[in-house]
Amino acid sequence: MTKTMAQLPYHYGVKVRVFPSTEQKRLIKRNSDASRFIYNEMNGMNNDLFWLKKVKTPITLVLKRIADLTERLKKPSTAISNIHGWLNHPDFDSLMKANAIKNYKTAWKLFRQVHQAGTPNFHKRGYSQTYQTSCLYSAKVTAPTMKNGSVRLTDNHHLQLPKLGRLRFKGLPLKILERANDIRIGTTTVSMDAAGHYFVSMQIGSEHPFVAKQHAIESKVGIDLNLDNFLTDSNGQVIDNPRYYRTIKGKLAKAKRKLSRRARRAKKSQRRLSESKNYQKQRLLVAKLQLKVANQRKNFLHHVSTTLVKNHDLVVAEELRGKNMLRNHALAMSISDVGWRTLLSMLAYKADSYGRNFLTINPRNTTQTCSCCGHVMTGKNKLTLADREWTCPSCGTFHVRDHNAAKNILAKGLVAL
């Protein structure tokens, strides 16, 4: 019996850019809109049920409505399709419907586990599009691969998707193409970003690792993340902060002002923004500028995280509370631009893939503590953000603030390990 995706020991995610035809673009939009509609219908039914149960007076009409909603939520796919007959149109992928319902249930599950993101909200219509489908394999298929499912590679440059048909793609790593007969495909996401670029993201699984485990090199490092120079490690190496958003901030602000003027002009002449060609041209320009910054930052963080994980057996970083830090309005823009949380998530999954250790520690007093004698600066002697260099009053050791913090972070990590 073949294993399911969940039973496979190794999982990986790949994202490729695709180039759909006009008809395929229409189908992607229809499925995206339908997916959002189903999600919102589920949310609407649950909201109605919640508030109706708050009614203390046993009104017959209310009790009947509660019973009706409870019955519908047992089999939501059938119930929603029966009420909204247009969802039975052949343009729609049946697995898209199942995934929309599954995503809504997952959102509730995450809320119950984490209690930070809040309850599921209604999804608003925007300029981006996305929906999920799944790769199914026939009962006759004894060895599921990337070439024999409902989502499959037809060759090294084309893939087949349900309802959409054949799509040209680029960007799939060569190591995945070479192992296509050893890998199976799971959940697949079709998306379009605000700049009009189309992508297909695939969850893939295998019995064998996707990344070779690295040999032990007996090297450990602590990293201190800061706004002055992005990252300083316990060995004294410093990585400069590229500040991608700041370099393009002026140009982006000018483009947004122009976009705002075109929006006002369109509304003044009573034209919808979707029909205003000048507005849409400027919107695409703004979206591409924002996308450029995001791609630059992501590329930089990938290089930094991969280098750290490949060159060290243990990487220790400080736990960051991004939401709390963003409350400081003087630093909010710089903190958002630097991408610390993304770096830490990259380090976590890459360390797991390469067989390395990565952990985060409580950063309490890592800046204020002398890494030589353990003296803690308190009271009037407490260091401020302006103090980049200091001398320990206890042992007289001269410290560079960030290098000292990185040493303390590594020491705490070794104790925790």
pLDDT digits 0-9 by tens, 321-363: 766 666 666 667 777 778 888 999 999 999 998 989 999 998 8
Q: What does the alpha-carbon distance between residue 380 and residue 197 come to, in Å, rounded to a whole number?
A: 55
Residue type, 147: K
76-83 and 60-74 helices, crossing angle to 10°? 110
Burial class (CB in 10 A: 0-12, 13-18, 19+), 224: buried
Question: Among 41, 93, 337, 402, which one carries the catalytic annotation?
Answer: 402
Residue 199 three-state SS: strand
Residue 417 three-state SS: coil
Residue 391 three-state SS: strand
The token pair at 267 is 């509304």
Question: Among 93, 224, 233, 337, which one carries the catalytic annotation?
Answer: 224
Q: What is the pTM of this model?
A: 0.88
Burial class (CB in 10 A: 0-12, 13-18, 19+), 318: buried
Residue from 341, 374, 15 nearest 173 by CA: 15
Residue from 124, 170, 103, 131 nearest 27 by CA: 131
Check residue 324 and give its pLDDT: 62
Residue type, 238: V
Instruction: State residue 111 phi and psi, 5-degree precision.
Output: -60, -45
Burial class (CB in 10 A: 0-12, 13-18, 19+), 185: buried
Q: What does the alpha-carbon distance between residue 391 and residue 372 come to, in Å, rounded to a whole number?
A: 11
Q: What does the alpha-carbon distance between residue 48 and residue 68 come to, in Å, rounded to a whole number?
A: 11
Q: What does the alpha-carbon distance between residue 64 and residue 75 come to, in Å, rounded to a whole number?
A: 18
Is there a contact between 252 and 290 (Cβ–Cβ < 8 Å)?
yes
Question: Among 93, 233, 313, 318, which one carries the catalytic annotation?
Answer: 318
H/E element holding 160?
strand 158-161
Active site residue 155: no
The token pair at 227 is 């706004």
Active site residue 240: no
Sign of the alpha-carbon dihedral angle for 342, 117, 201, 12: positive
Check residue 326 and give its pLDDT: 64
Cα–Cα distance list, 336 to 189, 243, 329, 333, 341 (Å): 27, 10, 11, 5, 9
Active site residue 402: yes
The token pair at 172 is 């799939």
pLDDT in tens, 28-72: 999 999 999 999 999 999 999 999 998 888 789 999 999 999 999
Low-confidence ranges of the chain (pLDDT < 50): none
Cα–Cα distance list, 242 to 129, 248, 337 (Å): 31, 12, 9
Is there a contact between 222 and 407 (Cβ–Cβ < 8 Å)?
yes
The token pair at 89 is 């149109």
Alpha helices, H only, 161-225: 174-178
Q: Within 10 A of 347 (CB to CB), how many other CB atoms are there?
A: 23
Q: What Rg, from alpha-carbon coordinates, does the chain have?
A: 26
Indicate the DSSP class of residue 367.
T
